[in-house]
Amino acid sequence: MTKILEFQNVELYYDHVYALKGVSVEVNTGEIVALIGANGAGKSSILRAITGLSRIKSGQVLYNGQRLDGTPAAKIVQMGITMVPEGRRVFPYMSVKDNLLMGAFTRRDKPGIERTLESVLTRFPRLRERFKQQAGTLSGGEQQMMVIGRALMSQPKLLLLDEPSLGIAPKLVQDIARAIVAISRDEKVSVLLVEQNSRMALSISSRAYAMSTGSIVLSGESKALMHDERIKAAYLGGDL
């Protein structure tokens, strides 16, 4: 399979405290890969390094075989990488429509933008129902749908999702999980999913990496990891 992302032996520090210590992660074209682990394990630091929000100390990040580290964040979006940040980060006083259109700020093809917008509204019918509402009036789950939709407006090839289930009602977590699978399948988008909800992450990904204190401690096919006793004990709360 073709590798869309190669994160090779990366070290990253915040001041003098390491966040990532020799971390290597790969994402193949068209697959969903999960990063699981407790809060503070280093999962989000990987996303920050990929998107240029944090500068790595050593190692390298490759996107479609080209060096990515050191590239400005705005250029990274134009290259086809989009992140849905933890905590949703909506523009609360803007309408759902305008929040979605913010995701297309790098595009100039107006007919194409309109087609993408219609595709997003078809995928998330609740957003069509609330199209003119202020984003701050939406529920947490609806806001999460909106920020995923906003990311899709940039037509990404690699979608980075940071804790999409955080603070979401269980029923909507299932809806969002199904949407992630459908987006990867239908839009041919590769997904790197950061999740503390390890059960959900392993259920929808093909491969996964388990992290602890800035390092990868286990990796493999998600189905196998789901039944690994170490994963069960550390991340899944015992027997499935």
Q: What is the pLDDT of residue 153?
A: 95
Q: What is the pLDDT of residue 85?
A: 85
75-110 as b/e, with b when 16 or more CB fall inside 10 Å? Answer: ebbebbbbbbbbebebeeeeebbebbbebbeeeeee
Residue 161 is predicted with a pLDDT of 95
Neighbouring residues of 235: CB distance < 8 A, sequence distance ≥ 6: 36, 37, 198, 210
DSSP lists the bridge partners of residue 26 as 6
Enter the tokens of residue 216.
């990868």
Crossing angle for the helix pair 140-152 and 170-187, nearest 10 degrees?
Answer: 10
Find tokens 């933890």 and name the residue.
86
Q: How far apart are CA 179 and CA 231, in angstroms?
A: 25
Question: Which of the residues in the chain have pLDDT under 70?
Answer: 87-88, 235-240
Four-residue CA torsion sign, 70, 9, 82, 212: negative
Provide the token pair at 181. 């699978």
Domain of 37, in residue numbers: 3-236
**Structure token pair of residue 151:** 């990311």
- What pTM did the predictor assign? 0.91
Q: Which long-range contacts (CB under 8 A, 24 or more apart) does 167-173 make?
A: 167/140, 168/140, 168/141, 168/144, 169/139, 169/140, 169/141, 172/139, 172/140, 172/141, 172/144, 173/141, 173/197, 173/200
How many independent structural domains does the chain possess?
1
Residue 52: CATH number of its domain: 3.40.50.300
The pLDDT score that the predictor gives to residue 240 is 36
Compute the distance between CA of residue 21 and CA of residue 188 in angstroms, rounded to an integer. Answer: 31
Q: Which of 163, 151, 155 is nearest to 83 (CA)?
A: 151
- Sort strands 207-212 and 190-195 into parallel, antiparallel or unpaired: unpaired
| Cα-Cα-Cα-Cα dihedral sign, residues 234, 211, 37, 25 | negative
